[in-house]
Structure 1
């Protein structure tokens, strides 16, 4: 499939397109300034999003993030109420700036005629808000939230639903993401994938290899533009 243009390019949103630095600071402050707890919080949020999906349940991603924040805080002798945690996480997740190269990269792909779609674990309302606030709305042909499926990525149902929604076969889809678990899920669902190796991110060694692995979105776009 390499060097053939994918019919639809799907983008993970948090961290892939949007910079979480400011949000991490807000969460870090809530955890008493213990920066080492940030990655633990994020991992716990992802773990429990999978627990919720595996159990046949659905809760908004921001609420899972808030619950994870309460758990990590409690283990470190810090008390945060559910209301406080949701206020921190939900609000912070909706007001994230794009990484510096993102707008130019998306514009370059749009100029080449690619169909661009956001695919995120955030709910529909949050997705629309964060893309608008980041000034990215005009680049996307569609905004898809897993809320419509009731399961989180990397459940295979999500990728199958997204390809059906865009009326394309899995092999004609490509996911661009900065998370090893997300590109792994897409590849195992029969999609193609490109990995953006943001700081602190790695691909999963037991998953199939992504066809593109670059340090930022512009470099990924530069390669995709050469495809025929």
Structure 2
């Protein structure tokens, strides 16, 4: 059984499509009312691609910059050049909704005596905003940002942060991510790993393979 449960943040605990979806439901978001799913998908894809490329080249910048760069690309692809639309989307990214099962799942883990943490590409201020908005701070023992090591996941230096913080061996950690590449990287590192495969995609063909594949986070306490 794992002693420590570590979660990726964006796409795992927090719904990265929530910003575009929420704005599209308001008069201010009329321009993306019909196209917000594609915009959200492009934004997330470019955000991740830019983090990987920067990890390879060593050109680290805080994740907030990567997030803005990804949005600018997505807006350009959508033919949107409204600065107010851009600013509204960025503001909403600081208060992304958690997936519905997150609070109860974390509460169950804490009731069982498990340490819980976030390990994320996100900048510390971004993560603080998301955690506060979701109201889940009371369940977390640590919020770890890659900013401390200056490189994005899946670099091993990022996963090293868990052992440095908790003084534990990799096999004592249950690592949970909705990103297949992150779950693979964590598995190769030596963590017990869960891939939250919300979209029913194939397992990535990478050296590490997750021990568990779930549709959502509901049954994580049974695995910890």
Q: TM-score, normalised by structure 1?
A: 0.84
**Which structure 2 residues correspond to residues 147-226 of structure 1 after superposition, within 5 A?**
147-199=147-199, 203-224=203-224
Structure 1 residue 30, shift from structure 2 partner: 8.9
Q: Distance in 2 between matches of 1:175 and 1:189?
A: 11
Residue aligning to 1:48: 50
Of 77, 80, 86, the match for 1:78: 80
1:20 equivalent to 2:16? Answer: yes
Q: TM-score, normalised by structure 2?
A: 0.86
Alpha-carbon distance change, 126 to 75 in structure 1, aligned in 2, over 3 angstroms: closer
Matched residues, number:
218
Q: Distance in 1 between matches of 2:75 and 2:9?
A: 26
1:64 equivalent to 2:60? Answer: no
Structure 2 unaligned segments of length 5 or more: list them.
none
CA RMSD of aligned residues (A): 2.4
Structure 1 residue 216, shift from structure 2 partner: 1.7
Q: Distance in 1 between matches of 2:22 and 2:200?
A: 19
1:101 equivalent to 2:101? Answer: yes
Structure 1 unaligned segments of length 5 or more: list them.
none
Residue aligning to 1:114: 114
Q: Distance in 2 between matches of 1:149 and 1:94?
A: 22
Structure 1 residue 31, shift from structure 2 partner: 7.4
1:123 equivalent to 2:123? Answer: yes
- Alpha-carbon contact 2:183-2:209 (below 8 Å) kept: no
